[in-house]
């Protein structure tokens, strides 16, 4: 238990569906991140939020839409995804100024 919870753990969706991934942290951290992990690729940073403000968008396609309503919650809204978007999506949190990141267990996404 790292203090970061992601739901759902597994998700299968069609290319025309709309779904959302949820992340919640109980560590009092002020920074939250979305990473994508595909087979045989390094962790790819997608989005960064500091104090609820988006500070980084790493050239992510618009079919991925993040939302951070407060410092403890982070969402990733998905729509019209492609099969190549199938991957493990990881949420993490940290204190600003500290690169020690605490990860959730991830959501295994399969786009069919």
Partner 1 sequence: TQLLEQSPQFLSIQEGENLTVYCNSSSVFSSLQWYRQEPGEGPVLLVTVVTGGEVKKLKRLTFQFGDARKDSSLHITAAQPGDTGLYLCAGATSGGSYIPTFGRGTSLIVHP
Question: One symbol per residue from 41 to 70: x for binding partner 1 (CB under 8 A), - otherwise; what is it?
Answer: xxx-x--x-------x--------------
Comparison of 81 and 101: residue with beta carbon closer to partner 1: 101
Give the integer Cα–Cα distance in Å for 92 and 82. 24
Per CB under 8 A, the segment of 13-21, 66-74, 79-87, 91-99 that binds partner 1 is 91-99
Give the three-class secondary structure for 45: strand
Burial tier of 86 (Cβ tally within 10 Å: 0-12, 13-18, 19+): middle
Q: Which of 22, 73, 79, 103 binds partner 1 (CB under 8 A)?
A: 103
């Amino acid at each position: 238990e790292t203090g970061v919870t992601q739901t759902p753990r597994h998700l299968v969706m069609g290319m025309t569906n709309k779904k959302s991934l949820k992340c919640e942290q109980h560590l009092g951290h002020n920074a939250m991140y979305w990473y994508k992990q595909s087979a045989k690729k390094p962790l790819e940073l997608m989005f960064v939020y500091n104090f609820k403000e988006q500070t980084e968008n790493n050239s992510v396609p618009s079919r991925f839409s993040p939302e951070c309503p407060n410092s403890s919650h982070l969402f990733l809204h998905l729509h019209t995804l492609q099969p190549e978007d199938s991957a493990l999506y990881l949420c993490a949190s940290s204190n600003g100024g500290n690169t020690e990141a605490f990860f959730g267990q991830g959501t295994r996404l399969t786009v069919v």
